[in-house]
Structure 1
Amino acid sequence: MRYLPLTDTDRQAMLAKIGASAIDDLFVDVPEVARLDGPIQGLPMHASEMAVERHMKALAAKNLVAGDVPFFIGAGAYRHHVPASVDTIIQRGEFLTAYTPYQPEIAQGTLQMLFEFQTQVARLYGCAVANASLYDGSTACWEAVAMATRVTKRKRAVLSGALHPHYAQVVKTMAHFTGDEIADALPAITAEPDFDGLIARIDDQTACVVVQYPDILGRISDLTPLAEAAHAKGALLVVVNTEPVALGACRSPGEMGADIVVGEGQSLGVGLQFGGPYLGLFAVRDPKHVRQMPGRLCGETTDAEGKRGFVLTLSTREQHIRREKATSNICTNSGLCALAFSVHMTLLGETGLRQLAAENHRLACLAADRLARVPGVEVLNRAFFNEFTVMLGGKPARAIVRDLADRGVLGGVSLGRLYPGVEALEHGLLVAVTETTTEEDIERLAAELEAAIKETAQ
């Protein structure tokens, strides 16, 4: 039984207070096509508990589970092996029920964990300071843009065409409410990113340039020239990383001159989890920018007796003292996911992370070489980590992906799905390989892809 304490009179009084004539007025920003005009079709209006359980199990049985078939899907969310010890640790009562340390002095365990997490992220990104995490990678990307506008006092952000389109859309959505100008583009289907074209879009009003590393097509390039070009115009370089395991093998963004580095931490400790919750990472290279960072920052100190202790050093969120002067209104730091990330990183250590990265790259190279031998398939990338793009010789990638799924292989993400309606990208397939992929899986993908292409040609 639902608990609905408000009467119609109460609702009318509330609507009148905010100047709305009806509840529907609250949803004017939701496109008409996305709104329901009645109950969800296909679901019974009522049923017994056992009937609902049977119905839900029948629906779940239609899923193709990632661990049951060869799995090559990436594009910002990656299937890695999460050690059982990670879940064992994060499910301890003192961690599982811990929330934001509003009274930091009595949350020493939580603060210490976040301090260690910040240290790991800062070292991974090649930055001086990292915060105590954010909601997810896409919102961290927007927070970086917002921070850059505060630092530079400018209102224009230039987005690389090779930035994940979902991240770009979050940035554009948020900028709609702040009045910032967002200059975005589509990715060029070339072996290397078009940095010359990106640099040409930077002007004296640009607050930041946002680039992904590795980018949405899996390409890896030296970001140093881009950082130098941005700095020459007084702009900041924001680098987005959606696959933190890559930084076990590749140079860190901070090392190449990135001013703000953000990303998604899902790959380490968190798992796919039907798309969330995930984990936003955020770091800055120059300590002078710390006070413009969103979220919270935990620090180490000593108490009156000289013992080591942890404190909430900086908190720019609106719930705390700053209120309307807050640098951000982001309210979730995905604390349990941050703990999982930190536990997984601790278990790996630097040597383990490098070994994990090397295995990811080795298997990805095997996959790229094998797929390149499939008639009609061309590997786009010259350099990549564990994800690369293949062009299917004019065949529609979305149809091929569906055909592969019917054959029991989750073969990747079609660029047509990421960029619907863009004809030039319809024939691209993004393939991700991790340590969970076997050489047998790679052979199966190649065989089924060849069969699917042949069938499409008939």
Structure 2
Amino acid sequence: MRYLPLTDADRAAMLDVIGVPSIDDLFQDVPKSARLSDLVDLPKHQSEQAVERHMGKLSAKSVSAGSVPFFCGAGAYRHHIPATVDHLIQRSEFLTAYTPYQPEVSQGTLMSLFEFQSQVALLTGMDVANASMYDGSTACAEAVVMAHRVARGKKPKAVLAPGLHPHYAAATQTLASTLNIKIDERETRPGRDYNVVEHIDDDTACVVVQSPNVFGEIIDLRPIAEKAHAHKALLIAVFTEPVALAAITPPGEQGADIVVGEGQGLGVGLNFGGPHVGLFACTQKLVRQMPGRVCGETIDANGERGFVLTLSTREQHIRREKATSNICTNSGLCALAFTIHMTLLGEAGITRLAALNHEAACDLADRLEGIDGVELVNETFFNEFTLRLSKPANDVVDALAAKGILGGVPLTRIQPDGDESLLLVCATETNDVEDFAAFAAALKEVLS
């Protein structure tokens, strides 16, 4: 039987405190079209074997990333993950570990998180990093809230550059809408001439710039940082491909105050869209306003190296309503996978990996740009670039998929009102010359 401890009187009392007449009123912000009016149309019951057979047939309709030439990116990237990563994270002491409520007892967990933080700080060129966030988009939203908090609410505006991933912008809009933060968002379009600096003024708490941006363009953050700092605003640098940070000047060296992004590209598979791991780093000056947790290194009573939970700003801890974030856990297992992959690569390895990615993208771009009906939009890129096609990108992608090639992400897939001719294409170390040749031949045929 179901255990329902609340009486109708209990529910009425809670609704009275909240200030709504009924439970249905709690769902007013959910569009009616998205609400279920009845039970989901599924069979009432089936045997386990029948369910497995049915689900297997559904799964067979999908094309896995590793089974065909794969050129999709747009915020989630396919890289080779060494078998060692999966082997280690499945050890029981890691796989079953949860946030330690008596943290100093969990020295192994704290040590791995400390190493993770150190790697993220080095990769981003920042002073300090936290013990991870849910993903890149929520990290971006939390960074804007953090900037608003640093400004003590006196600067209501956050400027979002046009190249920010639309999903990151949407997550930021959602969180900002509850905190009276005014979002000044530019139209998402390719190119580097954003004139973002023209929109920074004394009301600006922060400016958010992605590099490489959603179109793959690499942005010089220095002039934006200079203008932001002149108005006492913070520069939030965003990335979706962590491998890129091994090839371009780290955001911290370009004047960024906060750096956030997605860490999925290292150690974490595509996983059908999640779970992923958000990276969050900032300057030492801002560390006490940073959401999440920070693990630190110390010396124990015996003079031995040890690890502690240095800062913990979660709402479940003593800060309660004064907490800097509602992030109540971290992506610990994914953060560990990131750390193991980074450790296996080392500084020389990740630099070489970044070079391989850039070389692959340059090779592919050269092949595709020569096809009639294809225009390379980018002036610069790392491993992802944007093509303008003579036919709608959605139709082209469907035609390529029918030929066994996953040929990129149409812009309208992540931005429904975007330019339907634009196709986001990514090449990594997992692609070879045979993939490039197959893609070029198929694209030429589809566009002819």
Q: Would you call these one fold, judging by a TM-score over 0.5? A: yes
* Cα drift, residue 187 of structure 1: 2.4
CA distance in 2, matches of 1:249, 1:292: 29
CA distance in 1, matches of 2:369, 2:89: 42
Name whichever of 398-407 and 64-73 sits farther off.
398-407
Which runs of structure 2 are paired with 1:91-102 in the superposition (5 Å)? 91-102=90-101
Deviation digits for residues 314-347 of structure 1, max 9, x if unmatched? 1111111111111111112100000000000000
**Secondary structure at the residue paired with 2:444?**
helix
CA distance in 2, matches of 1:376, 1:434: 24
CA distance in 2, matches of 1:11, 1:347: 57
Q: Which amino acid aligns with 1:36?
A: L
- Does the 8 A contact of 2:163 with 2:190 survive in 1? no
Tell me what 1:270 maps to: 268
Q: Which amino acid aligns with 1:97?
A: T
Does residue 405 of structure 2 align to residue 409 of structure 1?
yes
- Does the 8 A contact of 1:208 with 1:237 survive in 2? yes
Deviation digits for residues 79-116 of structure 1, max 9, x if unmatched? 00110000111111111111112101201010011111
Matched residues, number: 443
**Secondary structure at the residue paired with 1:67?**
coil
Tell me which of 384, 393, 408 is aligned to 1:397: 393
CA distance in 1, matches of 2:21, 2:395: 46
Tell me what 1:234 maps to: 232
Deviation digits for residues 16-60 of structure 1, max 9, x if unmatched? 42235544333211111111222334x323222211111111100
**Secondary structure at the residue paired with 1:266?**
coil
* Cα drift, residue 443 of structure 1: 1.1
Which runs of structure 2 are paired with 1:180-219 in the superposition (5 Å)? 180-190=181-191, 193-195=192-194, 197-219=195-217
CA distance in 1, matches of 2:415, 2:276: 23
Name whichever of 170-179 and 10-19 sits farther off.
10-19
Does residue 367 of structure 2 align to residue 337 of structure 1?
no
Tell me what 1:142 maps to: 141
Tell me what 2:423 maps to: 429
Does residue 446 of structure 2 align to residue 452 of structure 1?
yes
Tell me what 2:74 maps to: 75
- Does the 8 A contact of 2:128 with 2:284 survive in 1? yes
CA distance in 1, matches of 2:274, 2:148: 29
Q: Which amino acid aligns with 2:388?
A: M
CA distance in 2, matches of 1:401, 1:22: 46
Q: Which 4+ runs in 1 deviate beyond 4 A? A: none
Tell me what 2:311 maps to: 314
Q: Which amino acid aligns with 2:159?
A: V
**Secondary structure at the residue paired with 2:66?**
helix
CA distance in 2, matches of 1:345, 1:427: 37
Does residue 28 of structure 2 align to residue 34 of structure 1?
no
Q: Which amino acid aligns with 1:414?
A: P
**Secondary structure at the residue paired with 1:310?**
strand
Tell me what 2:221 maps to: 223
Deviation digits for residues 256-276 of structure 1, max 9, x if unmatched? 000000000000001100111
- Does the 8 A contact of 1:238 with 1:261 survive in 2? yes
**Secondary structure at the residue paired with 2:200?**
coil
* Cα drift, residue 304 of structure 1: 1.2
* Cα drift, residue 406 of structure 1: 1.4
- Does the 8 A contact of 1:188 with 1:194 survive in 2? no
Tell me what 2:374 maps to: 377
CA distance in 2, matches of 1:266, 1:345: 12
Which runs of structure 2 are paired with 1:341-356 in the superposition (5 Å)? 341-356=338-353
Deviation digits for residues 338-376 of structure 1, max 9, x if unmatched? 000000000000000001000001110000000001111
Tell me what 1:160 maps to: 161
* Cα drift, residue 234 of structure 1: 1.1
Tell me what 1:327 maps to: 324
Over the aligned positions, Cα root-mean-square deviation in angstroms equals 1.3
**Secondary structure at the residue paired with 1:238?**
strand
* Cα drift, residue 407 of structure 1: 1.3
CA distance in 1, matches of 2:115, 2:239: 20
Deviation digits for residues 214-249 of structure 1, max 9, x if unmatched? 000000122111110111111100001110000111
Q: Which amino acid aligns with 1:294?
A: P
**Secondary structure at the residue paired with 1:63?**
coil
* Cα drift, residue 11 of structure 1: 5.0
CA distance in 2, matches of 1:40, 1:401: 31
Tell me what 1:171 maps to: 172
- Does the 8 A contact of 2:15 with 2:22 survive in 1? no
Does residue 279 of structure 2 align to residue 281 of structure 1?
yes
Q: Which amino acid aligns with 1:412?
A: G
* Cα drift, residue 12 of structure 1: 5.8
**Secondary structure at the residue paired with 2:80?**
coil
**Structure 2 residues without counterparts, runs of 5 or longer:** none
CA distance in 1, matches of 2:176, 2:285: 25
Tell me what 1:56 maps to: 55
**Secondary structure at the residue paired with 2:307?**
strand
**Secondary structure at the residue paired with 2:7?**
helix
